Amino acid sequence: MKNECWILSISALAATLMLVGCGPKGDEPNVEIIQGMMDQPAMKAQRYDDFFPDHSSARVPPSNTIPVGFSPYRFPTDPEAAAKESKNPYQGDMSPEVLLTGLKFFNTNCQTCHGVKGDGNGKIRQNGSFPMPIPSLLSEKVRKWEDGSVYHVITMGQGMMGSYASHIPQKYRWQVVNYIRKLQQNAQENH
């Protein structure tokens, strides 16, 4: 009986030490008991993949899954409700932090079409690669829009413009709206 308790205690201590020893130590990687779990083969997006029936490496997330930190957009098909019910958390905030973030995302995603000034004279218009007029963000029509309408167009797209929801994270879209408002303000002051 005494030997059995002794052996059981030593076995429990050894098992505990083994489990603790498998954890990360500072900058050292974990000891991997099952090798394939940490180093899974990566596939480049839109590459041919023999494993799946559609042979596409890009996988669609399971239905009804929501990424961490994501809030579904409440007005995907109702621009009027978006205009009335969406509230800009940065309403009137023209601080350098807000405007610089808006500028960054505007320059990355919007200025190619709408131009640096937001006047609809972007690079694709200048080089003739887009035959139709591109709306000016400085127009009377857009200036009269509620912030929620501008946010809605960024999120869902409008006309020939597609959605930029996958390009501009939710938390930065309102800052882009404020940057557009600043461009409109600058245009008004220069007239």
Domain region containing 138: 79-85+95-189
Q: How far apart (Å, rounded) are the C-alpha atoms in residues 125 and 119?
A: 11
Question: Does residue 167 form part of some domain?
Answer: yes
Residue 143: CATH number of its domain: 1.10.760.10
Residue 39 belongs to a domain:
no
Q: Is residue 180 part of a domain?
A: yes
Extract the runs of DSSP E, i.e. beta strands, from 7-164. none
Residue 55 covered by a domain:
no
**What is the chain's mean pLDDT, rounded?**
87
**Is residue 23 in some structural domain?**
no
Q: How many helices (H) and strands (E) does the chain have?
A: 9, 0
HEC string for 122-175: CHHHHCCCCCCCCCCCCCHHHHHCCHHHHHHHHHHCECCECCCCCCCCHHHHHH
Percent of the chain residues past pLDDT 90, beyond the cut: 54
Least confident of 33-42, 43-52, 74-83, 89-98: 33-42
pLDDT, tens digit (0-9, with 9 covering 90-100), for 127-184: 888 888 899 999 999 999 999 999 999 999 999 999 999 999 988 999 999 999 999 9
Q: How many domains does the chain have?
A: 1
In a domain, 113, yes or no: yes
HSE of 104, CA atoms in CB hemisphere, 13 A:
13
Residue 101 forms part of a structural domain: yes
Q: Is residue 68 part of a domain?
A: no
Query: How does pLDDT run across 133-148, given as a tens digit for each residue?
Result: 899 999 999 999 999 9
